[in-house]
């Protein structure tokens, strides 16, 4: 029998009213697709109306300055030069653009970890297969993870001929924040470039991409920055920009303009599409900066990151105690997500294919109105439950999840 009662609201988040989320659902899965606040969606709607009122004027005269305005705000957040930063639809597209632009020789090696996001690992595997390069997988610990153990595991997988390491800043299935600064530096000492898949990092973690120095840094704006879907970015170090092209080649390939960086010419126009999501990135960042009214000026987003981290840590503690399982890593390896192992051999069994929604995830939503992802990792029947913490969440929602897991018989006796 379905329990249609809403999640606990004994201490509701004061920020939840900014989102139009279904109040009957305990939404603990911001990490998958984000959730865009009402004010940002209204900004996008205004831009769409302007675009459709006079499409030629908008695309040929208004688009570039609007892109530059939004890009400037994002560049300030990332602490990079705007000329080295381009918008893409999402981090997966950015990763694919870099990989497809490389000229790889047979025998060269591309390094990933066993925590890699499946779509990006697929892109690495595709270009390796096409070029004769080799895919190397570093086995990174989850239970008992530490900065030193992660660095040691990645460096141990570096072999002669390793050309590029594709590393998550925040892993998707396991929610580990990798020590990316140390990894980039240590790999560079070995002559290995790094492509950072930072899909989750912007808006979750403080970033200084310029100081990080990675050859490439890809990120999403629709997740923790709460921009509309279709807004991602790619930062390319100046010495790695030559020959880099977007996934879709368009007019920028043979366009030369002294007033525009070649990188912008290549990526800013890849054919007719709706550009309004990326035009809202600057507005989304300003919205989050102003969300926490009591935060000091200029500290709003940083304060939100700290708040979300503390909530994720507290929520993980509640669920770990309830499940009788030790947290797999220290609190400082978390951002605003956390993953925990579920007991083995629980019902319903895992889905037959990794791309299918897990039946347990379906049951949590259908019977208890809780939206939280369940992943088979590293392989069936082993499962992880991953929680997210965003401004609209509150501790009572995770307490309710712990109660429900008990009702489902997942708790230790």
Domains present along the chain, CATH in parentheses: 16-28+298-407 (3.90.1150.10), 41-285 (3.40.640.10)
Question: What parts of the chain have a pLDDT lower than 50?
Answer: 1-10, 413
Total Cβ atoms within 10 A of residue 245:
17
Record the tokens describing residue 254, joined without a space.
Answer: 């043979």
pLDDT at 365: 96
pLDDT at 352: 66
pLDDT at 295: 76
pLDDT at 225: 98
pLDDT at 1: 31
Phi/psi zone of residue 346: left (φ > 0), alpha (ψ -120 to 50 degrees), beta?
beta
Q: For 97-107, give one letter per residue: b (16+ CB within 10 A) or e.
A: bbbebbebeee
pLDDT at 156: 98
pLDDT at 354: 65
Running DSSP on this structure, what letter comes out for residue 332? G
* DSSP β-ladder status, 85-88 and 232-236: antiparallel
Give me the residue label for tokens 């669920």: 319
Record the tokens describing residue 378, joined without a space.
Answer: 């590293």
Record the tokens describing residue 372, joined without a space.
Answer: 């939280």
Phi/psi zone of residue 119: left (φ > 0), alpha (ψ -120 to 50 degrees), beta?
alpha
Residue 304 Cα distances to 19, 222, 289, 310, angstroms: 15, 16, 8, 10
Residues forming beta bridges with residue 138, ordered by sequence position: 113
Q: What is the pTM of this model?
A: 0.95
For CA atoms 267, 268, 274, 280, the dihedral sign is: positive
pLDDT at 248: 95
How far is residue 235's CA from residue 241's CA, in Å, rounded to a whole number? 10
How far is residue 218's CA from residue 222's CA, in Å, rounded to a whole number? 13
* C-alpha dihedral (366, 379, 232, 44), degrees to nearest 10: -10
């Amino acid at each position: 029998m379905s329990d249609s009662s809403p999640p606990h609201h004994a201490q509701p988040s004061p920020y939840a009213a900014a989102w139009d989320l279904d109040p009957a659902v305990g939404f603990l899965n911001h990490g998958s697709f984000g959730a865009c606040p009402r004010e940002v969606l209204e900004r996008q709607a205004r831009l769409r109306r302007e675009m459709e009122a006079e499409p030629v004027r908008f695309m040929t005269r208004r688009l570039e300055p609007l892109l530059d305005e939004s890009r400037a705000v994002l560049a300030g957040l990332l602490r990079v030069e705007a000329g080295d930063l381009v918008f893409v639809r999402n981090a997966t597209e950015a990763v694919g653009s870099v990989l497809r632009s490389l000229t790889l020789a047979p025998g060269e090696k591309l390094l990933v970890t066993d925590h890699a996001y499946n779509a990006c690992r697929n892109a690495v595997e595709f270009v390796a297969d096409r070029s004769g390069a080799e895919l190397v997988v570093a086995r990174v610990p989850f239970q008992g993870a530490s900065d030193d153990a992660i660095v040691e595991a990645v460096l141990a997988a570096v072999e002669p001929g390793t050309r590029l390491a594709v590393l998550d800043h925040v892993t998707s299935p396991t929610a580990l924040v990798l020590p990316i600064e140390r990894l980039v530096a240590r790999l560079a000492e070995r002559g290995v470039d790094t492509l950072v898949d930072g899909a989750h990092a912007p808006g979750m973690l403080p970033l200084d991409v310029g100081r990080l120095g990675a050859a490439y840094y890809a990120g999403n704006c629709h997740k923790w920055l709460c921009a509309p879907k279709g807004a991602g970015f790619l930062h390319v170090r100046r010495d790695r920009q030559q020959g880099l092209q977007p996934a879709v080649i368009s007019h920028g390939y043979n366009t030369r303009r002294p007033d525009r960086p070649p990188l912008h010419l290549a990526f800013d126009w890849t054919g007719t599409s709706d550009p309004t999501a990326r035009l809202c990135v600057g507005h989304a960042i300003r919205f989050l900066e102003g969300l926490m009214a009591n935060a000091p000026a200029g500290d709003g987003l940083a304060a939100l990151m700290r708040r979300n981290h503390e909530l994720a840590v507290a929520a993980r503690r509640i669920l770990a105690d309830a499940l009788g399982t030790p947290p797999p890593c220290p609190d400082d390896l978390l951002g605003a997500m956390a993953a925990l192992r579920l007991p083995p051999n629980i019902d319903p069994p895992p889905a037959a294919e990794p791309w299918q929604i897990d039946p347990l995830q379906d049951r949590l939503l259908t019977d208890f109105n809780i939206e939280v992802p369940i992943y088979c990792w590293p392989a069936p029947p082993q499962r992880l439950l991953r929680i997210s913490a965003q401004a609209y969440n509150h501790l009572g929602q995770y307490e309710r999840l712990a109660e429900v897991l008990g009702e489902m018989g997942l708790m230790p006796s």
